[in-house]
Every structure is written in C-alpha cells, then in structure tokens.
Amino acid sequence: MAELSKTYDPRTVEPKWYQRWIDNHDFEADANSKKKPFSIVMPPPNITGVLTLGHVLNNSIQDILARRARMQGFEVLWLPGMDHAGIGTQTAVEKWLRKNEGITRHDLGREKFLERVLEWQDKHGGIIIQQLKRLGCSCDWSRQRYTMDESYARAVLEVFVDLYKNGLIYRGRRMINWDPAAQTALSDEEVVNKPQRGNLYYVRYEIVDQPGKFLEVATTRPETIMADTGVAVHPKDKRYAKLVGKSVWRPMPREKIPVVADEAIDPEFGTGILKVTPAHDKLDFEIGQRHKMAVIDVLTPDGKINCPAVPELHGLDRFEGRKRAAELLEARGLLAKAEPYENHVGFSDRSDVPIEPRLSEQWFLKYPKTKEALAVVKKHLIHFFPRHWEKVYEQWIKNIQDWCISRQVWWGHRIPAWYRRSQKSEVRGRKSEIYVGIKPPKGPGNWIQDNDTLDTWFSSWLWAYETMDRKTRKKFYPTSVLVTGPDIIFFWVARMIFAGLEFKPGKTTKTEDNIPFHDVFFTSIIRDKQGRKMSKSLGNSPDPLDLIDKYGADGLRFGLMRIAPSGQDIRFDEKQIEEGRNFATKLWNVARFRQMHGPTQLTPEELECFKHSSSKERPSNTGQRAELECNKHSSFGELSIYAIEVLARLNETIDAVEKGYRDYEFNTIAQRLYDFIWSDYCDWYVEAAKTEIFSADESKKKSALAVMDYVLSAIVRLLHPFMPHITEELWSLLGLGSGSIQFASLPVRAGLALNKDTANKRQLVAAIYETVQAGRNLRAQARVPSNQKAKFALRSKERELAREQETIARLLNASELIIDPNFQAGAGTPIATTVLGEILLIVDVDLSTERERLDKEIAKVEAELRTVEGKLSNKSFVDRAPKDVVELNRQRQKSFSEQLKKLKEAREKL
C-alpha cells in the first residue's frame, strides 16, 4: 500500500485516473452484455460551445446516475455527442470570417462557405468534449455522435421525406417569425417576449366621404402605415358602426382603404380602431384574409423600409423609419398625439433583435402523436421530475401550432425537396414542379434543390435513438432517463417524445417500447449571486475549468450538487465550490489517519461481513446477526458502542441515499453523505475510537480499525458517483478492494441487530455525546483554553459508564474524569445536567459568574418544562396525539424536572 501524501492534489490524481479508465475501456457499453441495461443520451452541446456551469451541473448528474448504475451491476451506456447548431454555428463562423478575412458568406458562396464551416469546426469546434472529460464524465466516447454524421443526416432527411409523404410536412405561404439579423424564419419557440418602451402614436386617417373629418388610430408602428390596406373596428362598437363599409385615406402614401368590422378588435384599446397591416402582423394578416385585403410588404429581409412611394423613409432601418414616420406625420398634421407606452415585443432568442412577422413561403410540420405524447406523460409511462413540469408540458401541447422547420441558413441539413423550372417561373415560385426525396429524380429537366436547411431541432428530436446502431438500440432503447434543463422542454423533450411515438424505433410497436425515456429529470437553472441568468454578455459566468483548477473536478461536482435543489434555480456562489474542495480534503485526511495505523487487514469478504445473505431480507429485529456474523471474523471482535452507533448511522445514510436517488434529490444525497462523513464518522466515531486505536489491547485496536475500514469502504463507494477521482484513489491506496471502485458493488445496510440491546447501546452513546458537549460548554464558559487539560467529574448512576471513562475523558480533553454518583464539589463548581446525570468542571470560578450562569440555565429548563407540561395537561393532546409523541413528552417532562431539581440544588449551595 502506498503512502498517502500530506495533501490531496486533484490536479495530478484526477487526470491520472481518467486516462486509466479510458485506457481500460471502462465506459464502453457492450450491447451483447447479459446485464440489465441502463442508458442515458447526453443532451448534445453545440459544436461551438464551451463548458458552462449549466453543463457541469447537467453532466455531473448524468455521470452520477451512470456511475451508480455501473456499481449496481447494470450495463451502462452514456451516449455523448454534439449538435451542429445551424444558426449558431453559421453566425459564429461568419463572425470569424468577417473579423479575420473581412469577407461575408456571400462573398464565398454556399459551397465554399460550407467548406469553411467544416474547417472551422475541425479547428475550433468540440472544445467542450475535452472539457467534459476533465470533469470526469464516464461517457462511451467510442459511440460519440454528431447531428451532421452521414448516417444521422440521412436519417433526418428520410424522416422529412416520410412525413411529407404522410402529409404531415407541407409547404405554405404563411406568417412566420422573421429574424432580420440572422435573416431566417424561426419557430414560435425561438421567439421570446420582452417588454419594450416606446410610444403609442395616434394617427389621423381622413374619412373619404367626409373631408376634414378624421379617424384616430393608435399604433406603435407608424413605419408600417404604408402597408396598411384597411382599418378595422369591432362590429358592436357603436361609435364607428356608420363607418363600416366606407373608406378612409391612408396618410402615406395617400390611398383609399376600407373600414371593416372584425371580432378580433378590442374596442377598449386606444381609440378602438386598428390599422390593418396584413404583411407585418399576424393578427392583421388574419383580418386581412377575412376581408380580402391586399398584402403590401414594405420591409426588406434585413429590416429596412422598402417603399419608394415615400422617399423620405425608403431605405431606412425599421427603427429609424419609425422615428421619421412619426415626424413626417406630425409635419403633415396627421399625428394627433404620441404617448409613452410599454408593450411586449418578440425577440429572436438567438440574435436578440425584435423579430418581424413576415409573410413567407416556408416548410411546416403538423406535429404527429400529440395526444399520445400527452397521454404517456399524464399516465406516467414517462415520469417527470419534479412533477410540476407535467403541467407546463400539458399546457404547451394543448396550444400547439404547426412547426416552421425551414431556415434560410446554409449550415444544416438541406431540405430534400427539388424543383424543376417550368417555363417563366421562379425556382421558389408556385408553378415549378416539386419533388421530395433524398436524391433528385432521374429523368429530363434540371432539378434544383431547395435552398433552405432544417431547424436544428428537427434533427435533435431523433437523438434518443438515431444515435444508436441497430444492436445498441435493441439493448438500450428506450433510455432510462433524460437529464436536461427545463428551458428546452418544448424545443427538445416534447419533440423527442413525438418522434419516439411516431417513428417507433423500439423493439416492438408497443408504446412502452417506443417512448424515448422512462424518466426525465429537469435540472435547476444556475444564476449568479444577484439572481441573474448566467450569460456571456454579462460576464457573470465563471469558467468551470478555472474552478476545476482551483478546487478539483470532484470538489466542483460535489459543491454544486450539494446546493442544486430540484426544480428550482440555484444562486451560484464560489464559496459553495470551496466547500466541496474542503470536503474532499476532509475525506482525504481521515483516510490518511486510518492509513497511518497500518494497512487494511480486512479481506473483501470481511468488508462485506455485515451484508445480509440476500438483499431482499430485511434486518432481523430478533436475532443478533451482526455480532454473530462478525464474530466469525476475528478482525471485528466485539463492537464498541461507538462502532454500533456509527454503523447504525451508516445504515440510515444508506437508506436516505437510496431514497434520494429514487426521487432524484441529489442535494439531499450529497448533504446526507456530507453530514455522515464529517459529523458522524470524523467528529464522533473516529475521535471516540482513538481510545481503542491507541490502546495497548491489540484486539480492541484491531476491532476499531476494522470498523474504520468497513465504514470507509462504504463511504468511498457511496461517494464515488459524486466524486469519482478521489474515491478511486482512496480505494486503491487503502487497498479496500481489488479492481476499480467503478464496478464495486454499492454498500448495503450493515446487519445490525435491531434489538433492545442495540437500542440501549445507542441511547448510551447519545447520552455520552450529549454529556461531552455539555462538559465542553462548561469549559468554554469557564474560559479554560481548549488546549489545556481540565478535570471533570460525572455524577451518574449509569452502570456501563466505567468502561467508557477513558473515551469520555478523551473527548472532553480531560486530565482526569471522576465518575462518582455521590461526588461532592466545592461551591461554585460549574455544573450542567444531561440525561446521564450531572457533569462538573473542577475549577474555581467566580461565584457570581456561576450563579448567573445557573440562573440562565434554570430559566431555560423551566421554560422547556412549562411547554411540555402544558401539552401533557391538555386532555385532547394526551387522548389524540400518537402514543410515541405523548411518550416522548412524558420522558422529556421527567428529564426536565430532574434536571431542574439538580440545577436548583446546585444553585442553592451558592
């Protein structure tokens, strides 16, 4: 066994183990394995992406689940990969080209540009994969996939063709969300609403029949007046009833437009009159359709005014145009007023510019299997964690609209639609012949492929199964769990469910074989200390690599997991990561302490000696299995009461951890492990066991060390999914098992007999620990420095106490501990009462100080006693509360009154 160095150095230990795991192919899944499958597909990060804290959280959770499953004996597949991120990558490469070469994609042309994207991707893409490796992710890298892999891309196109043939994909000229910066259509989900300050302009439209009389129309967008092809009022609005069917003059360019009545108008808003601009507003478009209005487009694709009839505005940017339009109207006396106004405007999620509703020819998908997709979640064939996301999902599905899937970018899966020019028609024009298929049809004519590519999410929605080959799919699909952020519940989670149900990649056609995953765990969203979302532009996102450098990957992982509540936002504070690092150091040091006292003597068999013969078997509450079993192995000897206590707590921890995994409550698991290791094991058990460890009695020493080994072995295994590197290092250095900890079985409950004897011993330990704390408190209050040994006395009738004298003295740092039920102390000796009896600190203190202290203590106990007695004198409480609660209160009453008696006696002597 190698020595443990004085300090733990994650920077050398972590990469060392990761490399070894890779070299051993430990993460590679075997599709032929007989073991039960456990599988996760990684939400593919963008090829342009770099690791953020969000990724760290997300992937740590996946790694934890994968590693735990491996220890449970599953055949584990954690399938990693990347997303080509159409718009995002194209934008990144364009930016790079502009900066480095001063050229645009149009300078290069489609083919050349795509070559440059691939070049760029090889050079700068996929950094995140290396970063995930540094985090310790146990992905099967041999199966790493990419949404642009040839076979994957082919599958995407095939799906398109199929859906087209089934009539679910269609091409149509409709209002879509146009991103003037990226110059592409977007789906509804890619538009986010933001409040915007602006003005509400009241524009005067002259009534044709009644020259000199005007209608006032409120609008936030005067720059679109030139595209007005009507005004509308509510049919029941009496103010304007007479005008319906007549015409007004559009202010600029001056032209007659009709007044129509339409239910969609809110009479309460503004003046109750809406200017109808079918080309630039979704609602207006619908009104326009109903009343057969013309559609005039006055904006260019990049958001500039296109209206030669009003030369003052023509060519201006849309926002500049808005200002100028208002000025023009004002100059012509057609602006009644303008008032400040705040409304919500849709912004492009990616470009962060206001989107422009635009009439455009695009490809749409009518979502398949929406009802079924809702049903599988509502019937819990798919479980959402936390559950409240079900409602969000339901609400979205119920209001679902067709999905605009075509994008006017070059980088992506090019739409497999082909057009043949017929005479005098444009490629995209209506008269051209269309063919949908992966390859252009043979035969005469020049078939030209559609210029558009598919929404990136149209490829991601196949991710759960298209990443797997046939054999892998047979073994590992449906996947066990999906771990992802709630922000992509619509983008990705819902659509993957649709895809699974529609394309049926499973073993059979049964629904349960085709859902993409059984569980979905939605992670928290990480915010900064002020509660703001982490973002590049705010610069409030710490680089996880720096954090790994400072605190180790294990420290980062553990620190983050301990504070990550399920389904709520996390406020990130580096302090929390520091705690993770400190915890790793604590673990390291307690292991080092163990190792200083010689090598592990326990055989693997002995390490499992408490294990039940069958995991199904419940701990017996009659027998004394643990002791019997352990007595077979000399190393354990007779367990000390402290050993029994720590083993019992270990059992409780194992149970809590198991429940935590069932509920996906990672913070609970982390916290329980933290508390058990730091407090129960290090602070109490190890300190108490030092008596035996430093004892001359070899059998006692051996027993204590054996228990330490047993617990340490359980600890590192429980902790391994969270902190893979340090636990592997300790597993190996302490010689706790042969082979890698990754495939060691998880610890099971120690078979402690749950009998009266154990209960009594545990009670005694609790009493001792309480007494120790009371004694330390006396020491602190009497201002005896903690490095100075002090003399204590314990008045107790407890019979078993004598054999614990040395340990109690050690825990108190006592020079001497007198155990005597009749011990007489001088006046003014500080005294405290516990369930064991009274503890006294033999030291002279000022009488008045001690009086004061006792008075306070008495007051405290009196208050407690009053509360308890109040309860017990309440007949309803005694009759109706559960028995154990009443009993507990009775005990407390007894204990408090005894304490009070003792304290008062001591007080009277002063």
* Residues of span 215-244 touching RNA by CB under 7 A: 217-221
Query: Could you write out the DSSP letters of every residue in 71-118?
Result: HTT-EEEEE-EEB--HHHHHHHHHHHHHHHH---HHHH-HHHHHHHHH
CB of 627: closest distance to RNA in angstroms? Answer: 27
**Of 399 and 508, which has the nearer Cβ to RNA?**
399
Sequence-distant (≥ 6) Cβ neighbours of residue 215 within 8 angstroms: 204, 205, 206, 207, 231, 240, 243, 248, 259, 271, 273
Only one of the segments 376-384, 712-720, 770-778, 820-828 lies at the binding site for RNA (rule: CB under 7 A); that segment is 770-778
Residues 771-800 that bind RNA (CB under 7 A): 772-773, 776-777, 779-781, 783, 785-787
Task: Scan for tokens 């009839």, then name that residue.
Answer: 309
| Shortest distance (Å) from residue 20 CB to RNA | 24
Query: Which amino acid, 682?
Result: C
Q: Which is nearer to RNA, 270 or 437 (CB)?
A: 270
Q: Does 707 bind RNA (CB under 7 A)?
A: no
- How is residue 433 written in tokens? 């012949």
If binding is defined by CB under 7 A, does position 319 make contact with RNA?
A: no
User: Facing residues of 257 across strands?
Assistant: 248
3-state secondary structure of 739: coil
Q: Are 680 and 687 in contact (CB under 8 A)?
A: no
**Least Å from the CB of residue 493 to RNA:** 13
Q: Specify the stretch interacting with RNA by CB under 7 A; choose among 304-312, 404-412, 840-848, 884-892.
A: 884-892
Rounded to a whole number of angstroms, the minimum distance from the CB of residue 22 to RNA is: 27
What is the distance, to the nearest Å, from the Cα of residue 111 to the centroid of all Cα atoms in its chain? Answer: 40
Residue 592 lies near RNA (rule: CB under 7 A): yes
Quick one: tokens of 654?
């194992």
Least distance in Å: CB of 881 to RNA?
Answer: 3
**Given 265, 365, 496, 553, the residue binding RNA (CB under 7 A):** 265
Per-residue binding string, RNA, 714-733, x by CB under 7 A, is --------------------
Q: Is 576 in the site for RNA (CB under 7 A)?
A: yes
SS3 for 415-482 is CCEEEECCCCCCCCCCCCEEEECCCCCCCCCCEEECCCEECHHHHHCCHHHHCCCHHHHHHHCCEEEE
Phi, psi of 471 (to 5 degrees): -65, -45
Q: Beta strand pairing status for 191-207 and 479-484?
A: unpaired
Which one of 543, 569, 816, 887 is in contact with RNA (CB under 7 A)?
569
633 is a contact residue toward RNA (CB under 7 A): no
Work out which of 124, 213, 391, 632 binds RNA, going by CB under 7 A.
Answer: 391
Of 281 and 455, nearer to RNA (C-beta) is 281
Place of tokens 């044709």: 208
Count the residues in the chain: 910
Task: Classify residue 561 by burial, with Cβ atoms within 10 Å: 0-12, 13-18, 19+.
Answer: buried
Q: Which of residues 672-701 bind RNA (CB under 7 A)?
A: 675, 678, 682-683, 686-687, 690, 694
- 336-365: which residues touch RNA (CB under 7 A)? 343-344, 346
Stretch that binds RNA, among 365-373, 384-392, 493-501, 617-625 (CB under 7 A): 384-392
The interface with RNA within residues 279-308 (CB under 7 A) comprises 281-283
In angstroms, the CA 145 to CA 142 distance is 9
Q: What minimum distance in Å lies between the beta carbon of 821 and RNA?
A: 24
**Residue 593 or 823 having the CB closest to RNA:** 593
367 touches RNA (CB under 7 A)? no
Site for RNA in 149-208 (CB under 7 A): 188-189, 192-193, 200
Helix (H, G, I), strand (E, B) or coil at 262: coil
Contact in structure between 815 and 808 (CB atoms under 8 Å)? no
**From the CB of 111, what's the least distance to RNA, in Å?**
36
For residue 607, give the DSSP letter: H
Binding string, 648-677, against RNA, x = CB under 7 A? -----------------x-xx--x---x--
Evaluated on CA atoms 404, 405, 410, 411, the torsion sign reads: positive
Residue 106 CB, nearest approach to RNA (Å)? 33
CA distance 540 to 660: 31
Q: How many CB atoms lie within 10 A of CB 543?
A: 13
Segment 514 to 533, residues that bind RNA, using CB under 7 A: 529, 531
Candidate residues 96, 120, 367, 877; the one interacting with RNA per rule CB under 7 A: 877
Is 596 a binding residue for RNA by CB under 7 A? The answer is yes
Would you say 549 or 675 has its CB closer to RNA?
675
As measured in angstroms, the least distance from the Cβ of 518 to RNA is 22
C-alpha dist (Å) from residue 260 to 184, 221, 273, 387: 33, 20, 10, 48
Q: Which of 106, 536, 799, 880 binds RNA (CB under 7 A)?
A: 880
Given 3-state DSSP classes, what are the helix, strand and coil percentages for the chain, each rounded to the nearest 5?
Answer: 45, 20, 35
- Strand 433-436 relative to strand 406-407: parallel, antiparallel, unpaired? unpaired
Taking the complex as a whole, the smallest distance from the CB of residue 568 to RNA amounts, in Å, to 5
Residues 831-860 interacting with RNA (rule: CB under 7 A): none
Minimum Å distance from CB 344 to RNA? 3
Residue 876's contacts (CB-CB under 8 Å, 6 or more residues apart) are none
Q: Tell me the number of residues near RNA by CB under 7 A.
A: 92
* Beta carbon of residue 624, minimum distance to RNA (angstroms, whole number): 28
386 preceded by a cis bond (ω within 30 of 0): yes
Give the Cα separation of 577 and 58 in Å (integer). 16
The pattern of x and - marking residues 37 through 76 that bind RNA according to CB under 7 A reads ----------------------------------------
